[in-house]
Amino acid sequence: MEVRLRVNGEVRRMFVEPRVSLLDALRDRLDLHGTKKGCNQGACGACTVWVDRRRVLACLTLAISCENREVTTIEGLSEGDTLHPMQQAFLDADAFQCGYCTPGQIMSAVALLDEGHAGDDDEIREWMSGNLCRCAAYPHIRSAIRRVRDEQEAGRAAR
């Protein structure tokens, strides 16, 4: 089947079998390798992307179900050479070790802030619980999220 996806602001067309996951379409058909394949069962969150600004697990989402919808991957967060504030915060807070889970963690972290679920560490922990880190960088991940949250709040207060 021909599928038309809007990925990171660009309309992309591809032919896929109806059973092809969004994850495989992104990685194998569109050469967007930032989204990682972890467990391929929806348990680890490494494949987290956004569809219409909502978090989804790309390994459990069929590519054809995203026809004519906006798909955002980790590659779509930065603007040219300028990193998204969350990407920069992850670097500054040393919020990764091996880095394999980092794209999914960042996609969830940005969504978490947009959803208003970063009141305290317990809330951050709960709303990030679908993203696993085998290296246990959780304290640094929460630190990065707090940093961006605080910067956003300071920016709103200054207006």
From first to last of its 159 residues, the chain has per-residue pLDDT tens of 999 999 999 999 999 999 999 999 999 999 999 999 999 999 999 999 999 999 999 999 999 999 999 999 999 999 999 999 999 999 999 998 899 999 999 999 999 999 999 999 999 999 999 999 999 999 999 999 999 999 999 998 998
Q: How many domains does the chain have?
A: 2
Q: How far apart are CA 9 and CA 70, in angstroms?
A: 7
Query: Are residues 26 and 71 part of one domain?
Result: yes
Output b/e per residue, 63-95; b: 16+ Cβ within 10 A.
Answer: bbebeeebbbbbbbbeeeeeebbbbbbbeebeb
The domain of 60 spans 2-76
Quick one: which of 107, 12, 105 has its CA closest to 63? 12
Query: Are residues 52 and 116 part of one domain?
Result: no
- Which of 18, 48, 76 terminates a domain? The answer is 76
- Which of 15, 48, 76 terminates a domain? The answer is 76
Query: Are residues 71 and 89 part of one domain?
Result: no
Query: Are residues 66 and 95 part of one domain?
Result: no
Query: Are residues 113 and 52 part of one domain?
Result: no
Query: Are residues 67 and 35 part of one domain?
Result: yes
CATH number for position 40: 3.10.20.30
Helix (H, G, I), strand (E, B) or coil at 54: strand
